[in-house]
Chain A
Amino acid sequence: MLKRTPYDVVVVGAGVVGAACAYYAARSGLKVAVVDRGPVAGGTTGAGEGNLLVSDKEPGPELDLALLSTRLWRELAEEFGARVEYEPKGGLVVATRPAGTDLLHGLAAQQRAVGVEALPVAADELRTLEPHLAEGLPGGYLYPQDAQVQPALAAAHLLRASGADRYLGEAVTGLLRGPGGSVTGVVTGRRELAAPAVVNAAGTWGGELAALAGVRLPVLPRRGFVLVTEPLPRIVRHKVYAADYVADVASGSADLQSSAVVEGTPAGPVLIGASRERVGFDRTLDPGVLHRLAAQAAALFPVLRTVQVQRAYRGFRPYLPDHLPAIGPDARVPGLHHACGHEGAGIGLAPATGLLVSRRLLGEEPELDLAPFRPERFEGAERLEDAEGES
Chain B
Amino acid sequence: MDPLDLVGAEPGPARTILFDGRAVSALPGQTLAAALWADGVLAWRTTRRGGRPRGAFCGIGQCFDCLATVNGRPNQRLCLLPAEHGDTVTTQEGHGRADLEV
B48 touching A234, Cβ below 8 Å:
no
A308 touching B102, Cβ below 8 Å:
no
A233 touching B75, Cβ below 8 Å:
no
Contact of A235 among B64, B67, B75, B102 (CB under 8 A): B102
Measured in the bound complex, the distance between the Cα atoms of B48 and A232 in whole Å is: 10
> How many Å from the CB of B76 to the closest CB on chain A?
9
Please give the number of chain B residues whose Cβ is less than 8 angstroms from any Cβ of chain A in the complex. Answer: 12
B48 touching A231, Cβ below 8 Å:
yes
Q: Which residues of chain A from 277 to 322 have any CB-CB distance to chain B below 8 Å in the complex?
A: 303, 307-308, 310
Interface presence of A132 (CB below 8 A): yes
A233 touching B95, Cβ below 8 Å:
yes
Interface presence of A230 (CB below 8 A): yes
Measured in the bound complex, the distance between the Cα atoms of B95 and A307 in whole Å is: 12
In chain A, what residue has the closest Cβ to B100?
A235
Instruction: Using A268-B48, A268-B95, A308-B75 as known contacts, say yes or no to A233 and B64 having CB atoms under 8 A apart.
Output: no
B102 touching A131, Cβ below 8 Å:
yes
In chain B, what residue has the closest Cβ to A266?
B49
Q: Which residues of chain B from 86 to 102 have any CB-CB distance to chain A below 8 Å in the complex?
A: 94-95, 97-98, 100-102
Contact indicator per residue, chain B 61-81, by CB within 8 Å of chain A (1) or not (0): 000100100000011000000
A310 touching B64, Cβ below 8 Å:
yes
In chain A, what residue has the closest Cβ to B75?
A230
- Chain A contacts for B95, CB-based, 8 A: 230-233, 268
Contact of B100 among A303, A308, A310 (CB under 8 A): A303
Please give the number of chain A residues whose Cβ is less than 8 angstroms from any Cβ of chain B in the complex. Answer: 14
Measured in the bound complex, the distance between the Cα atoms of B94 and A234 in whole Å is: 13
In chain B, what residue has the closest Cβ to A304?
B100
- Chain B contacts for A232, CB-based, 8 A: 95, 97, 100
Measured in the bound complex, the distance between the Cα atoms of B94 and A70 in whole Å is: 33
Measured in the bound complex, the distance between the Cα atoms of B97 and A106 in whole Å is: 39
Specify the main secondary structure of chain A where it touches its partner.
loop
Measured in the bound complex, the distance between the Cα atoms of B97 and A237 in whole Å is: 16
Instruction: Using A230-B95, A233-B95, A268-B48 as known contacts, say yes or no to A132 and B75 having CB atoms under 8 A apart.
Output: no
In chain A, what residue has the closest Cβ to B64?
A310
Measured in the bound complex, the distance between the Cα atoms of B100 and A384 in whole Å is: 49
Candidate in B48, B67, B102 with the most chain A CB atoms within 10 angstroms: B102
Measured in the bound complex, the distance between the Cα atoms of B100 and A131 in whole Å is: 10
A234 touching B75, Cβ below 8 Å:
no
In chain B, what residue has the closest Cβ to A311?
B64
Q: Which residues of chain B from 3 to 55 have any CB-CB distance to chain A below 8 Å in the complex?
A: 48
Measured in the bound complex, the distance between the Cα atoms of B98 and A234 in whole Å is: 10
> How many Å from the CB of B32 to the closest CB on chain A?
16
Measured in the bound complex, the distance between the Cα atoms of B101 and A131 in whole Å is: 10
In chain A, what residue has the closest Cβ to B95?
A231
Measured in the bound complex, the distance between the Cα atoms of B97 and A135 in whole Å is: 22
In chain B, what residue has the closest Cβ to A228?
B64
> How many Å from the CB of B90 to the closest CB on chain A?
16
- Chain A contacts for B48, CB-based, 8 A: 231, 268
Measured in the bound complex, the distance between the Cα atoms of B102 and A233 in whole Å is: 8
Measured in the bound complex, the distance between the Cα atoms of B101 and A234 in whole Å is: 6
> How many Å from the CB of A301 to the closest CB on chain B?
10
Measured in the bound complex, the distance between the Cα atoms of B5 and A341 in whole Å is: 61
Measured in the bound complex, the distance between the Cα atoms of B97 and A232 in whole Å is: 6
In chain A, what residue has the closest Cβ to B67?
A230
- Chain A contacts for B67, CB-based, 8 A: 230
> How many Å from the CB of B15 to the closest CB on chain A?
25
- Chain A contacts for B102, CB-based, 8 A: 131-132, 233-235, 237
Q: Which residues of chain A from 156 to 180 have any CB-CB distance to chain B below 8 Å in the complex?
A: none
B75 touching A231, Cβ below 8 Å:
yes
In chain A, what residue has the closest Cβ to B74?
A230
Measured in the bound complex, the distance between the Cα atoms of B102 and A349 in whole Å is: 32
In chain B, what residue has the closest Cβ to A229?
B75
- Chain B contacts for A131, CB-based, 8 A: 102
- Chain A contacts for B101, CB-based, 8 A: 233-235
In chain A, what residue has the closest Cβ to B97?
A232
Measured in the bound complex, the distance between the Cα atoms of B75 and A232 in whole Å is: 10
In chain A, what residue has the closest Cβ to B76?
A308
> How many Å from the CB of B43 to the closest CB on chain A?
17
A-B CB contact pairs (8 Å), 6 listed: A230-B74, A232-B100, A233-B101, A233-B102, A235-B101, A307-B97
